[in-house]
């Protein structure tokens, strides 16, 4: 679509008339400078149209007679008319060529403006694409960093999972050891109970023997006068009883020592068992935390 001209013939004619009235010789460039806008080709075409509409100016010499002046004026007018016809034809051809040049100039100007607009749009699109490319590069870098972090996290998770499997594999062994320790503790508890029972029996025997010895001594005191013949036998029985009592007391002390030793070993086993239980609980709690994570 052709652009609308930014200057009209009336504007060109008014500016040219003003320059001519001031005694100057108007030109298309002067008209463009005074108007401030417009294509020089368009102004040249309109200026040629204005020149074609200007009347001829012939100054007659004041020293010639009037008749001669009229003759010369008629001759000049006739010659001018003839020359004007040729000039008009040439001018018409020139104006047509100038019009074509002006139209081509305007078409080229419009094409140049279109190209400039297209170039500006392309530059804006290029800038937008550059921004998108930078953003995509930043997103790609962030995605690579995130992938690296995910890989590290996966490696750490696999390591923790392997540790958890190791702990789970060791758990049956620890449970068996704990069961064995429990059985040992139960056996020691039974041994201690038996030792306590034997010690009680020994103490009861010792008490009974003491009572029996006291009764024998009392009976011996009461019957000493009447049982002189039985004194030696009774002494022997008393000696035997004292030997038995000594043996029983020794057994009682041995049982007490064994009881103390069994009690110490039981406490040691309890302490060791408590340590194993703590280790098992620690492994179990750590495995639970790792599984939850």
Q: How many domains does the chain have?
A: 2
Question: Which residues of 4-141 form beta strands (DSSP E)?
Answer: none
Are residues 35 and 79 part of one domain? Answer: yes
DSSP helix/strand/coil, 63: coil
Whether residue 265 lies inside any domain: the answer is: yes
Segments forming the whole domain that contains residue 125: 9-52+75-142
Q: Same structural domain for residues 276 and 164?
A: yes
- Is there a single domain that holds both residue 123 and residue 190? no
Same domain flag for 128 and 82? yes
User: Which of 85, 108, 142 marks a domain boundary?
Assistant: 142
The CA–CA distances, whole Å, from 289 to 224, 234, 282, 286, 292 equal: 86, 79, 10, 5, 5
- Give yes or no: residues 134 and 165 share one domain: no
pTM above 0.85, yes or no: no
Cα–Cα distance, 12 to 243 (Å, whole number): 161
Per-residue pLDDT in tens (0 to 9) along the chain, 293 residues: 555 567 899 999 999 999 999 999 999 999 999 999 888 889 999 999 999 988 766 554 446 788 887 888 888 888 878 877 877 777 776 777 667 777 777 787 778 888 888 889 989 998 888 888 889 888 888 979 997 898 888 798 888 878 867 776 776 776 788 788 788 768 888 878 886 887 688 678 867 767 886 786 777 678 757 757 776 877 888 789 789 878 978 987 988 899 899 889 989 888 888 887 787 777 667 665 555 54
């Amino acid at each position: 679509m052709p652009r609308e001209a930014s200057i009209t013939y009336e504007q060109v004619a008014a500016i040219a008339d003003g320059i001519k009235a001031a005694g100057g010789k108007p030109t298309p460039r002067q008209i463009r400078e005074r108007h401030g806008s417009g294509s020089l080709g368009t102004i040249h075409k309109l200026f040629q149209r204005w020149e074609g509409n200007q009347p001829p100016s012939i100054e007659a010499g004041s020293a010639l007679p009037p008749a001669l002046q009229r003759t010369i004026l008629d001759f000049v007018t006739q010659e001018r008319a003839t020359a004007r016809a040729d000039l008009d034809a040439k001018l018409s051809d020139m104006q047509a060529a100038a019009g074509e040049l002006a139209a081509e100039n305007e078409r080229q100007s419009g094409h140049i403006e279109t190209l400039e607009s297209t170039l500006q749009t392309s530059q804006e699109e290029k800038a937008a694409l550059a921004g998108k490319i930078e953003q995509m590069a930043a997103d790609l870098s962030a995605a690579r960093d995130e992938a690296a972090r995910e890989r590290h996290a996966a490696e750490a998770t696999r390591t923790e999972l392997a540790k958890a499997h190791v702990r789970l594999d060791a758990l049956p062994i620890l449970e068996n050891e704990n069961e064995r320790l429990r059985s040992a503790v139960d056996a020691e508890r039974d041994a201690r109970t038996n030792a306590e029972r034997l010690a009680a029996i020994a103490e009861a025997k010792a008490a009974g023997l003491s009572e029996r010895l006291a009764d024998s001594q009392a009976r011996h005191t009461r019957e000493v006068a009447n049982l002189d013949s039985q004194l030696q036998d009774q002494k022997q029985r008393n000696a035997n009883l004292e030997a038995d009592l000594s043996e029983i007391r020794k057994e009682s002390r041995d049982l007490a020592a064994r009881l103390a030793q069994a009690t110490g070993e039981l406490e040691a086993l309890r302490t060791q068992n408590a340590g194993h239980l703590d280790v098992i609980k620690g492994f179990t709690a750590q495995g639970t935390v790792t599984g939850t994570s």
